[in-house]
Amino acid sequence: MLGNTFGRFFRITTCGESYGIGKGSGLAVIVDGVPPGVKITDEMIQKEMDKRRPGTGELNSPRKETDQVHIFAGIGPDKVTTGVPIGMIVYNMDTQKIHIDQYHDYKDLIRPGHAEYSFFLKYGECADWCGAGRASGRETVGRVAAGAVAKILLARESIEVIAYTKECMGIKAKEMGFEEIKKNYRKNEINCPDPEAANRMIDNVLEVKKEGDTAGGIIELIIHNIPGGLGEPVFDKFHAMLSHGIMSIGAVKGIEFGAGFGCSKMRGSEFNDHPYLENGKVRFKTNNAGGILGGITTGEDIIARVAIKPTPTVSVEQPSINMKTMKEEKLSPITRRDATLLGRIYAVIEAMAAITTVDALFMDRGWEGMAKLDKKWVDLKRK
Ligand SMILES: Cc1cc2nc3c(=O)[nH]c(=O)nc-3n(C[C@H](O)[C@H](O)[C@H](O)COP(=O)(O)O)c2cc1C
């Protein structure tokens, strides 16, 4: 398997599977590029891990994972980074035989919506059949731990990353400003800051769950107070890097920025964000560009919406194929699953956004140092 590393200068490498090799199996991440002198404690990382953890409510998987993170490298005795790579591990705790046996029972079957078929094509007989292996949502544990480190670095620059449920089963949260979203962040199980919409979303998902089915939705991501000038104008456009990070999360089916696909219905004069001066700084009256022009951040908030598919595991009977016998069969899995991924996946989206932003900051600061830009342009970048 290739491609387990993300980032150019601030780089993360993850390993680990859903169940792994029995007692002692787990998920680890190495975070490269953390500067020395940054205070990082287990509690600071755990706060982010708890957002993604399963077994915490009616909408998410009953798998009881504590997701306790252990930092095993990169931090000195006084809880301050030493400038070397940070290593973190989370052990899999809820890997009971009953669940492993369930996966074993249909290990040769294609589970619709899952990665089984493509894994068969790529890894043949050796494909990991237990709990989706590396295609499992558990793979994202290391991303969230690394994202927590990235968030600590961003906090030093007053950059905030928030993601929340914008839409589920056709129910939309009302339009809200950043401060209101922040005030109502994580106040309900589906993490929708509009309480009235949240209740309706939750009721609908619980109805679908009763029928053994699952639901998808849309997560909105905001990167607040991000400086202008991040991103490189050709292959490493800021939104290209962000899309790479976010589209690499399982179950993510699309991403749009600012007005997004809605731009197809607009005129140029409507879509264009008009600049104005605010205390000597350039601002824009609207944010249809989602905070990015020519692949470079403008200093307006980055706004992206991410489409999340319904959880593939359903207990509704579905057609399948047995890859050993090459015969058609029926399948109705009984394994644990999230009725919707919305109440957990936002934490992974935040993590990938934070990692990408730190990486882009590294690139920009490094280049700016070499370029020795006129102070006027450097000052304009920061609000
Ligand atoms: C945080 C998280 C939790 C997930 N939990 C489940 C789950 O409980 N059951 C399931 O069938 N899929 C779950 N998934 C989705 C699958 O991992 C994913 O849909 C599958 O591997 C196929 O990949 P694709 O949807 O990207 O094509 C989860 C994904 C994430 C990111």
Q: Could you report the per-residue pLDDT of 309-358, keeping only the tens digit for each?
A: 999 999 899 999 999 999 999 987 667 788 999 999 999 999 999 999 99
Structure tokens at 322: 């047995």
32 beta partners: 11
The closest-lying atom of ligand 1 relative to the alpha carbon of residue 60 is 8
Please state the rounded mean pLDDT for residues 44-61. Answer: 86
51 touches 67 (CB < 8 A): no
Q: Which residue's entry shows tokens 């560009």?
A: 289
d(CA 266, CA 259): 9
User: Across residues 24-29, what is the average pLDDT?
Assistant: 91
**CA distances to 82, 117, 238 from 363, in Å:** 21, 38, 11
> What is the Å distance from ligand 1's center to 314 Cα?
12
Ligand 1: lining residues by beta carbon, under 6 Å? 52, 61, 114-115, 132, 135-137, 140, 249-251, 309, 311-313, 337-338, 341, 344-345, 348
In which residue are the tokens 């007053």 written? 158
Can you tell me the mean pLDDT for 228-236? 97
Residue 137 CA to ligand 1 centre (angstroms): 5
Residues with Cβ within 8 Å of 364's Cβ and at least 6 positions away in sequence, in order, are 229, 230, 231
Residue 298 Cα to ligand 1 midpoint, Å, equals 34
Residue whose CA is closest, atom 5 of ligand 1? 137
Distance 251 CA to ligand 1 centre (A): 5
CB atoms closer than 10 angstroms to residue 90:
25
Bridge partners of 292, per DSSP, are 297
Most distant pair of Cα atoms in the chain: their distance: 71
Q: Which residues contact 26 (CB under 8 A, 6 or more apart)?
A: 16, 20, 89, 90, 91, 92
Handedness of CA 60, 146, 21, 318 (dihedral sign): positive
Grade residue 18 by pLDDT with cuts at 50, 70 and 90: confident
Contact status, residue 271 vs residue 259, Cβ threshold 8 Å: yes
d(Cα 150, Cα 142) in Å, to the nearest integer?
A: 12
- Cβ contact 357:157 at 8 Å: no
Ligand 1 pocket: which of 341, 344, 345, 349 to mutate (most atoms within 8 A of CB): 341
Span between the terminal Cα atoms of the chain, in Å: 43
Residue among 118, 149, 115 at smallest CA distance from 132: 115
pLDDT at residue 129 tops 90: no
Whether the pLDDT of residue 23 is over 90: the answer is: no
Task: Give the alpha-carbon dihedral of 28, 32, 34, 40, to 10 degrees.
Answer: 10
pLDDT band at residue 199 under the 50/70/90 scheme: very high
Q: Radius of gyration over alpha carbons of the chain, in Å?
A: 22
Q: Where are the domains of the chain?
A: 5-381
Chain mean pLDDT for the chain:
93
Q: Where do we find the tokens 């930092």?
A: 71
Q: Measured between alpha carbons, how far is 60 from 338 in angstroms, rounded to an integer? A: 4
- Identity of the amino acid at 235: F
Predicted pLDDT at 333: 67
| Cα gap 60→58, rounded to integer Å | 6
Q: How far is the CA of 376 from the centre of ligand 1 (A)?
A: 47
Note the pLDDT of residue 112: 94
Token pair belonging to 97:
């035989």
What's the pTM?
A: 0.96
The residue whose C-alpha atom lies closest to atom 22 belonging to ligand 1 is: 114
pLDDT of 88? 98
Ligand 1 atom at minimal distance to the Cα of residue 309: 25
**Ligand 1 atom closest to Cα of 111?**
11
Taking the centre of ligand 1 as the mean of its atom positions, its distance from the CA of residue 250, in whole angstroms, is: 5
Render the burial of 22-46: b for 16+ CB within 10 Å, e for the rest.
Answer: eeebbbbbbbbbbeeebebeeebbb
* Helices and strands per DSSP (H, E), number in the chain: 10, 16
Cβ 290 vs Cβ 258: under 8 Å = yes
Classify 210 as helix, strand or coil.
helix
pLDDT, mean of residues 233-255: 98
% of the chain residues with pLDDT over 90: 78
Question: Tokens 């992206």 correspond to what residue?
Answer: 304
- Region of poorest pLDDT, from 46-50, 79-83, 106-110, 199-203: 106-110
Residue 245, pLDDT above cutoff 90: yes
Q: What is the pLDDT of residue 92?
A: 85
According to CATH, the topology of domain 5-381 is Chorismate synthase, AroC fold (3.60.150)
- Tens digit of pLDDT for each residue in 103-112? 888 889 999 9
